[in-house]
Structure 1
Amino acid sequence: MKRWTTGEVSKQRNISIRTLRYYDQIHLLTPSFRDENGKRYYSEEDLFQLEKILILKSLSLPLENIRDILDKLSYKQILISHFNYLQEQLSKLQTSISNTASLINMIDLDESLSWERVSELVQNSPNSKKWIDYFQEDEKAFLQKTIPNLSHNDKTTQQYISLLRRIEWCIKHNIKPESDEGFQIASELIEISNDHFQGDTKLEEKFWEVRKLPAEETGLYPISEDVLEFVERCIAYVTT
């Protein structure tokens, strides 16, 4: 039967000898074997106990609590708890990544973004009605796959950001929607929309009506009335 010295366990698991001796001192993990010279050795069962201790420590449990439950939970049960904990941490990390990507794209849209606006967009109220709630279940599934999202950094989202900035530039410089630049913007918007909605004009119109609602009701990135009017006018200019 293989046995391990304190030094070997310390090296393999990157745990200090002092910590292992402390675990022995408080009767949390005591080596099962001692040779004729008094040297202590850990068994394989001891090492499994150590793994359980390390996992429970990663869940931020105090050593006193770990000692109380160590023998009541199997290694598999502890692994399942750790798995659930990691899944929760992953979810939080993915949310943080999405929020950070959203902020990057917001700054691309508005370099003078205020803290109040950032706070309003990041801390969405879970009780408020969001844009997706205005649609039927089959429409939701379709739209969530196709509609650009500021939390994503894909090519289509970047295209929309670029178009919005061009529209804002036109408004700032008094360039009308019924101009060559407006015609080009509308053409690109129509092309992207056709790709997204796959020819479903009814759903496209429904989404556009939701898009025009106040941002605090939909949770969508707020777009000014001037921009929305520019879009409607330039598209009308192209399609009539």
Structure 2
Amino acid sequence: MKTWYVKDLSKATKVSVQTLHYYDKIGLLEPSLRHANGYRCYGEKDLMKLQQIVALKFFGFPLSKIKAMLEHDISVYDSFLKQAQFLEENAKALMETSRTLNDVISDCDRRKSVPWETIIKLIEVYRMTKELEKTWAGKIFSPEELKQYASFEQELKTNYTLAQKEAFEKEWGSLVAQVSDNLTRDPGSDFGIAIGKQMMDLINGLYGKKYAGLRTAIWEKGFKTGQMDAEHAVPVPVVDWLDKAADAYYRNAIYSVLSKVGSVSSGESLKAWDTLLENMFGDDQAAKNEVVECVFKEDKVSEAAKKWLRENYKGK
């Protein structure tokens, strides 16, 4: 049987002598033979075990876990599955940290001082994003939407007072209760349009232009699918009714703006049109353009209004 002294084994495996001594000390890899003079002598089985240790270390297993795996009948396959999942999660975290650092770099250069206040905010958003991953938001949002939601929540904590939060929740609760009592009424009626306006004014006041896309994502992916948490959940019939009422309100608002084309100045019409689309979609130009295309197919809109829209609205 071939044997190696510690220096020889170190040369053969590229594992340092100090590391081999440490493995011996913690009982991870003890030499099969130990001479009277104290020299360690490793056998072929020891070499095989060392190769296993090197491989498991490469995959990120801690030494304590490696020792347990080699000493006990622990499934290496199952351990590999768990470690692969662990490494994937770590990789995602590292990528997110890298993106956060790049955000910082984009805000400064070598000639400027480091924007520590910005860095702290980015770190807070990152931490909040990790927390939100464990909630209902983590189940329905894309990584980018989740990051945006974390930013929104962070700004809400900074800019929204407790009194404002309570006032919003009170008005929202009252609105939901009112709809619950009137589910048999037509959401496309004047009553429904008024409710739709009240709802969108309330929600747009909370999310603003900056988070209009997030507002839509929460509504479409959370409320309409019934995947909101218990604190924010609204009965599906109420959500369906509100969705139709909001659609009726915006449809009516579109008709109202375009019906005035020719009777008010072109600049006034354009300002009203741009404001309406910003309320609906924020900076989502693709969604705005989609609405414009739908207007061109709408019989209720006059040809004069369509002509004005083609000539004056410059969608990008």
Q: Kindly name which structure, 1 or 2, has the bigger radius of gyration based on alpha carbons.
A: 2
**Higher relative contact order, structure no. (Cα contacts within 8 Å, ≥ 6 residues apart):** 1
**TM bucket normalised to smaller:** 0.3 to 0.5
What's the TM-score, normalizing by structure 2? 0.33
